[in-house]
Amino acid sequence: MIWWLYNLVFPVAYACLLPHFLLRMMRRGGYRRGFLQRFARYGRDVAPLLDAPGRPVWIQAVSVGELAVAFSLMDELRRLDPAVRFVLTCNTSTGHALALKRLVAPDVTLYFPMDVPGVMARALDRIRPSAIVLVENEIWPNWIRLAGKRGIPAVMVNGRISAHSHKGYRKLRPFTRDLLPRIRWFCMQTEGDRDRLVDIGAPADRMEITGSAKYDISPTPPEARARARAVLDRAGIGPDRRILVGGSTWDGEEAALLDFYARNRAAHPDWFLVLVPRHAERRAAVLEAIAARGLTVLQRSQFPDGAPAPAAIPDVLLVDTTGELRGFYAVADVVFVGKSLTQDGGQNPIEPARDGRPVVVGPHMENFPSVSDDFARAGAWVQVKDAQELEAVLSRLLSDPAECAHLGTAATSLVDHQAGATRRMAARIHAFRVP
């Protein structure tokens, strides 16, 4: 009865949301390519990769944040078994584009198929995975259930469930008590995540506290750092300038950074602002906000590698491209991590911390509760409560290299201390894979 109800409700909900998906497809672009993969229809471009020898590990990472965990996990699994290959799926065009840049044959990047029995059965039969891996809380019921029927183990890695989500899942306990025992093993970030998942039906004897895999990232590749530095140099922004990067910003956050910058740039001509919005398709709104403050701008999308230097040095660099955030984090003097000031949830602060950058965030880091606790205890960031405090903190840091160095050192030490979760998770997946 429970599965019948889910398989009735999900397609109806999907159909109702389809106009929204199509509109986003038009605005953001990138969805058309591979769209039929959502229905487990695979074209000639990926068929040879799916037919490669051996059964792959199928990893599902919903978008960019989870992909960082997936990439680290793949590297560790390949260290354990150099012959392993992967099918990496995601839900968003941004994540799909990033994965396409990173993965090479015999690995393959696909869109995650629609979670209805016919489509998911076709995907599982075509991919024939040796294990399926759920990154964080990618709980897709038919995927898990139909994999289990085929003897394919499911492993949750970097598992988390917030207190808010837990309240919602508790209302579905008749369903989750049937679904969660079908997962072979749970690698959870914290004891709180474990306890909340056990409360809604996960078997307590299949739980392991491994910590957060988000800490297991490498420093920014030198070529990414060099590329970002080259963009700034060609734009006339030399190494003597103090670079403030607003990373993964959302609506309202660019305005706060621009207001701060516009008010202070005359007194501090050595400061320079780089904006990297979370969604590049918001470029028009960000450009309008920049123009409204009388500032000039250079768009990264209109300034490709090798382009001649602009006629005049811009006031702001707008990075409206995909996959370049970490390079600009690495050359920053101060980093503000977005979706934390005017939005709820937060974005990943570990990436700039890995490179020893001083990190500033707003009050809303709900998506990173354990990480937030770690950073606060270690004094590895500055968290502000509003735009007014943000302005004061940024002004102080941009004027005080010594404090920036202290924060950066604390951030790097924290990341080094917390590393190791990926190795533990990879060992579990490797042990559970079926031949």
**What are 127-176's pLDDT values in tens digits?**
999 999 999 988 999 999 999 999 999 999 999 998 888 999 999 899 99
Q: Residues near 425 by Cβ (< 8 Å), separated by ≥ 6?
A: 73, 76, 155, 157, 158, 187, 210, 213
The rounded distance, in Å, linking the Cα atoms of 62 and 93 is 10
**Is 351 noted as a catalytic residue in this protein?**
no
pTM of the prediction?
A: 0.81
- In this predicted structure, the answer to whether residue 97 has a pLDDT above a threshold of 80 is yes
* CB 410, CB 382: distance < 8 Å: no
The pLDDT of residue 3: 74
**Residue (of 425, 413, 57) closest to 213 by Cα position:** 425
66, 76, 136, 138: which is the annotated catalytic residue? 66
* CB 283, CB 299: distance < 8 Å: yes
The rounded distance, in Å, linking the Cα atoms of 259 and 211 is 38
The pLDDT-based confidence of 117 (bands split at 50, 70, 90) is very high
Fold assignment, 222-418: Rossmann fold (3.40.50)
Domains in the chain: boundaries = 2-216+420-432, 222-418
Tens of pLDDT along 40-94? 999 988 988 999 999 999 999 988 889 989 999 999 999 999 999 999 999 888 8
The pLDDT-based confidence of 27 (bands split at 50, 70, 90) is low
* CB 237, CB 218: distance < 8 Å: no
Q: Which two tokens stand for residue 105?
A: 């044959």
Chain-centroid distance of CA 81 in Å reads: 26
Phi/psi of residue 273, nearest 5 degrees? -110, 130
Give yes or no on whether 2-216+420-432 and 222-418 have one common fold: yes
The pLDDT of residue 30: 55
Q: How large is the C-alpha radius of gyration of the chain?
A: 22
Give the long-range contacts of residues 370-376, CB within 8 A, separation 24 or more.
370/160, 370/189, 370/190, 370/192, 370/193, 370/212, 371/212, 371/214, 372/346, 374/414, 374/418, 375/349, 375/411, 375/414
* CB 24, CB 31: distance < 8 Å: yes
CATH: 3.40.50.720, 3.30.499.10, 3.40.50.11720, 2.40.50.140. Which one for 2-216+420-432?
Answer: 3.40.50.11720
**Where do we find the tokens 């398989």?**
7
